[in-house]
Each structure stands twice: as C-alpha cells, then as structure tokens.
C-alpha cells in the first residue's frame, strides 16, 4: 500500500506520525508523497482540511483516514490510542470482516468559480466557502439561483457549505446538519440586515447537485473569501459561481462510522 502522513505539527501528532511510519515499515507499506493511495491525517478535523488541499489535484485517486489527537472528530474518526489497531486494519491483520476491503465512503464537495476583473480562478471546498467584508464592512451582493435573481444580500456575509462541512461553520450560523452523503450544498446567511428596506430569505437553504448559485458583487468592496482554512482578500470581485462538484472525496472506513452518533457525541455529549 502506498501511503502518506500529514500531521498537525504539535508534539503528540508528530510522535504519532513517527509511530505510524515505523508500523507501516513493519507491514511493508510504501511511503509515497506523489501518488499515495491512502493519506493519513493526524491531528484534528482542521488537519484533514490541510491534507485535502495538499492533495487537491489527486482527490479522485486516493482515500483519506483521520486520527484525532483530542476528542473524536468528524473526518478524524480514530483516536490516538487506536493507532496500532488502525494499522492492523490497513494491513489486513485484524479479525474484523471489513479488514481487507475498507468501505470507501464518498462525500460531495463544493466547486467555486471566482470571477474578478483580473481573471477567473477555481477552488474546491471540503467544508465550506465564506464571503465576508473586510474590517466588518457590510457586504452587498446579489444572489442568483439557476440564473434568476433570488435576493439582494446585505450583511456580514454568506457561507456555502458542503454536507460534511455542515457540522462546522455552517452549524454556528444555524444551518442544518446534513448527512454527508447527500449531494447538495447549503447556503447560510451571516448576520443579514433585514428591515423594511432590505430583505433576504433569513433561513438557510439547500441546493441539489444540478442547481447552481451565483453571488454578484454589487458595490466596490474589499472582500475576504475563505475556502476551508484558506484566505483570499480581493477588491475586484465580479461574481462567484457555486455548485456541487462532479468530484467527490473518498474516506476509507475500516469500521462503521455512524454519523448521527458522532453528531450526538460531539454536540449533545
Ligand atoms: P480553527 O479555527 O483552528 O478550528 C475550527 C474548529 O472547527 C476546530 O475545532 C475543528 O475541529 C472544527 N472543524 C473543522 N472541520 C469540521 C467539521 N467538518 N465538522 C465539525 N467541526 C469541524 O480553524 P481550522 O482548523 O483552520 O479550520 C477551518 C474551519 O474552521 C473552517 O472550515 C470552518 O468550518 C471552521 N470555522 C468555524 C467557525 C465557527 O464555528 N464560528 C468560524 C470560523 C471557522 P478540530 O479541533 O478537530 O480540528
């Protein structure tokens, strides 16, 4: 098996990473930074975002596995003390029935086409995309759905999340928890201004994979765009097209992963 490991850089993650390499050598795995079959992320869900963007050009060809050094996460579903067990599963040495063929689960992503006066760029988000005003300025943007004007947004910003990102920033905005296999994107408002003059829907909404949403800048404004942990600051935005990506990201599951249990454990205790 060709593998690669990315860790968060803290002491425990580095130690786990070193232990993983030793165990991997014992089982004959091949370290491959160029074309790994499995990318192991050690740290937290945030580390998985880094791993995803590091291998953004190889997403269809590999699967991710996450180890969490703290509490269990959503992408990182193995704990630090389960490292040996995980490597045994990966090597097919466990007695569990899923051992030789991990279940590959595929989650939808969001594609972004950002059009500015200086050109067009493309990004893909694992968690979400956000658009906000720099220094707390009010964003003014026209939101179109399937090429028809939907609303004129005024407020702090807009968040477009993937289903697996619904438990991240989207949740803090009051968006719905979405099972990560549902092929849709979610649009959530960040503190919209609503009064007699300005009106937005005021609740989050979900678009299916064959729909798209365009956000048009409607005043000269400096905007901060985030794609997961990545940040861009631009002042010449024309529009952004958001849609469910044709590419899905794969996660290798060596044991069952009940999403709703994880939601309950993470948020309800
Ligand atoms: P960070 O500020 O260091 O961490 C953000 C937190 O979000 C971490 O606790 C992380 O978990 C958690 N997280 C990441 N992906 C998640 C997911 N899919 N479901 C549930 N929790 C998740 O930032 P970062 O590590 O660079 O991560 C960037 C992410 O932060 C963004 O994609 C955004 O979703 C999130 N964020 C959230 C808010 C908010 O909730 N108000 C505001 C800004 C950004 P771990 O501890 O396991 O890494």
Q: How far apart are CA 171 and CA 227, in angstroms?
A: 16
Q: How far apart are CA 242 and CA 142, in angstroms?
A: 13
Pairing of strands 119-125, 128-133: unpaired
**Parts of the chain with a pLDDT under 50:** 97
Please give the distance, rounded to the nearest whole angstrom, from the Cα atom of residue 127 to the centre of ligand 1: 9
7 is catalytic: no
Ligand 1 pocket check for 168: Cβ under 6 Å: yes
Atom 44 of ligand 1 has which residue's CA nearest to it? 169
CATH 3.10.20.740 is the classification of domain 2-102+254-267: no
Ligand 1 pocket check for 229: Cβ under 6 Å: yes
For position 70, what pLDDT does the model report? Answer: 85
Ligand 1 pocket check for 45: Cβ under 6 Å: yes
Report CA-CA distances (Å) from 28 to 35, 63, 80.
17, 19, 22
Q: How far apart are CA 31 and CA 184, in angstroms?
A: 35
**Chain region(s) in the chain for CATH 3.40.50.10330:** 2-102+254-267
For position 93, what pLDDT does the model report? Answer: 79
Q: How far apart are CA 73 and CA 141, in angstroms?
A: 34
Q: How far apart are CA 268 and CA 181, in angstroms?
A: 22
For position 89, what pLDDT does the model report? Answer: 93
**Chain region(s) in the chain for CATH 2.60.200.30:** 109-246
Rounded (to 5) percent helix, strand, coil in the chain: 25, 45, 30
For position 72, what pLDDT does the model report? Answer: 77
- Model confidence over 196-224: pLDDT tens digits? 888 999 999 999 999 999 999 999 999 99
187 alpha carbon, distance to own chain's centre: 15
Atom 1 of ligand 1 has which residue's CA nearest to it? 46
For position 65, what pLDDT does the model report? Answer: 97
Sign, CA torsion 125/64/107/70 = negative
* Contacting residues for 210 by C-beta, under 8 A, at least 6 apart: none
* Contacting residues for 253 by C-beta, under 8 A, at least 6 apart: 77, 98, 102, 103, 104, 105
H/E element holding 52? Answer: helix 45-54
Which of 7, 10, 45, 147 is flagged as catalytic? 45
Protein fold of 109-246: Tumour Suppressor Smad4 (2.60.200)
Q: What is the DSSP letter of 170?
A: H
Sign, CA torsion 56/227/110/102 = positive
Atom 28 of ligand 1 has which residue's CA nearest to it? 229
For position 101, what pLDDT does the model report? Answer: 77
Ligand 1 pocket check for 44: Cβ under 6 Å: yes
Please give the distance, rounded to the nearest whole angstrom, from the Cα atom of residue 166 to the centre of ligand 1: 11
């Amino acid at each position: 098996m060709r593998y690669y490991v990315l860790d968060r850089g803290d002491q425990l993650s580095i130690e786990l990473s070193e232990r993983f390499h030793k165990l991997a050598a014992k089982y004959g795995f091949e370290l491959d930074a160029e074309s790994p079959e499995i990318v192991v992320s050690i740290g937290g869900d945030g580390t998985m975002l880094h791993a995803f963007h590091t291998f953004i050009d190889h997403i269809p060809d590999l699967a991710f596995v996450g180890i969490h050094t703290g509490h269990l996460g959503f992408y990182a579903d193995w704990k630090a003390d389960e490292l040996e067990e995980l490597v045994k599963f990966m090597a097919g040495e466990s007695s569990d029935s899923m051992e030789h063929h991990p279940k590959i689960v595929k989650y939808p992503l969001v594609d972004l086409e950002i059009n500015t006066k200086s050109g067009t760029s493309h990004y893909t988000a694992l968690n979400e995309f956000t658009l906000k005003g720099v220094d707390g300025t009010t964003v003014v943007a026209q939101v179109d759905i399937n090429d028809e004007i939907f609303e004129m947004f005024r407020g702090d910003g807009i968040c477009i999340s993937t289903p697996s990102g619904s438990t991240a920033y989207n949740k803090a905005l009051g968006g719905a928890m979405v099972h990560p296999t549902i092929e849709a994107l979610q649009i959530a408002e960040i503190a919209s201004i609503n009064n007699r003059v300005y009106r937005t829907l005021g609740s989050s909404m979900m678009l299916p994979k064959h729909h798209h949403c365009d956000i048009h800048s409607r005043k000269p404004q400096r905007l901060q765009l985030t794609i997961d942990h990545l940040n861009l600051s631009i002042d010449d935005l024309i529009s952004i097209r958001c849609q469910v990506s044709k590419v899905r990201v794969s996660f290798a599951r060596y044991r069952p992963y009940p999403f709703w249990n994880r939601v309950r454990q993470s948020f309800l205790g």
